[in-house]
Amino acid sequence: MHNIGLFFSQYSLIAIFLIVLLEQAGLPIPALPFLILAGAASGNDALLAIQFLLLATVAATISDVIWYFVGRRYGRRVLSLLCRISLSPDTCVRKSENSFNRWGVATLVIAKFIPGLSMMAPPLAGALSMRLQNFLIFNIAGSFLWVGTGLIGGMLFHKEFKALIESFGGYGELALMIIAGLLIVYIAWRLWRRRQVMQMVMEFPRVNVDELTQMLECRSQLVIVDVRVNLPDHPLESHIPGAVHIDFASLGSESLDHWPMDTQIITYCDCPNDVSAAKAAYLIGKKGYQTRVLTGGMNQWISSGYAIENLDDSI
């Protein structure tokens, strides 16, 4: 290939469709730079810009609808799988749930502008049994806004971008190698971030469900803290007997002075690798308490056959 600009002009519509489709399907491809490039390629050609807008929106919607139905079929299990294969830290589920808790269905409008949330929002909407009609309306609106923002950004500076493309295009394969290298650096950085999070999680003091049961029987000075998300449309139905629910987002500012300083605090969640529980334990530990994380969280407690305490619609 001798000219990147020529290649893009010939295959741009197909390329944009596939790039957006694959990114929304979960591949670590940053689609927004390509949307900006498409906007620059459009220049003052309104018809071409509209074609980009429609094709990219359709591509995003196809992937999102598939993930919506997967989430509806498999529930939170698919969220755990996504976090295990994603380059984002496992708190992506937590952030997505918090966004739905705060913004409701409007989360779908802003999701694609927020790393991690873009991938998690469609299956989470399905897992929360959101009506398909509502999902389609707000998700298409969000996709349309996201794609349009990228295209407009490229169109506003199309002269500068075209000059840049032409300068790179003259280098042919070397330019492609540079672009591929930047993509590899981006993926490597995301992997490093994930490794840092996982290292913190694995090094945090733990307690298993059998040990926790023994501690409860000994009636030691102990508080069990449930940091799972309690969504208005999907409230928690049960918890470990005697557990106290605390909103994760408020841990940094909430006062815990009502607990004696010699209290042992065990945190738990239902997220992959107990990431939210570990972060909660870290924040509580900064206040001077001895904290540990329940390995496997609520899922391990239930699978081990221990009793649970049913809750009302609100905690």
Residue by residue, pLDDT tens for the chain (315 residues) are 344 445 555 668 888 999 999 988 877 778 888 898 888 878 778 888 899 999 999 999 999 999 999 988 887 667 666 655 554 544 556 666 666 666 777 888 988 887 767 878 898 888 878 889 999 999 999 999 999 999 998 888 777 666 666 665 555 556 556 666 776 776 777 667 767 666 666 677 889 999 999 888 876 688 999 988 776 666 778 899 989 888 766 665 566 767 888 888 999 987 767 777 888 888 888 888 889 999 988 888 999 999 898 876 444
Per-residue pLDDT at 287: 83
Whole-number Cα distances in Å, 160 to 39, 49, 152, 246: 12, 17, 14, 51
This prediction has a pTM of 0.61
State both tokens at 167: 């300068």
Per-residue pLDDT at 2: 41
State the span(s) of the chain assigned CATH 3.40.250.10.
204-310
Per-residue pLDDT at 143: 95
Whole-number Cα distances in Å, 255 to 207, 250, 258, 288: 25, 9, 8, 12
Please name the CATH architecture into which domain 204-310 falls.
3-Layer(aba) Sandwich (3.40)
Burial of 83 (0-12, 13-18, 19+ CB in 10 A): buried
Per-residue pLDDT at 219: 66
Per-residue pLDDT at 4: 47
d(CA 191, CA 193): 5
Lookup result for tokens 């469609």: 122
Per-residue pLDDT at 76: 64
User: Is the backbone of residue 198 left (phi > 0), alpha (psi -120 to 50) or beta?
Assistant: alpha
Strands 206-207 and 290-294 turn out to be: parallel
The dihedrals phi and psi of 2, each to the nearest 5 degrees, come to -105, -15
d(CA 79, CA 180): 29
Per-residue pLDDT at 166: 62
Per-residue pLDDT at 87: 47
d(CA 140, CA 161): 28
Burial of 172 (0-12, 13-18, 19+ CB in 10 A): middle
Q: Which helix (H) or strand (E) holds 310?
A: strand 309-310
Strands 222-226 and 264-268 turn out to be: parallel
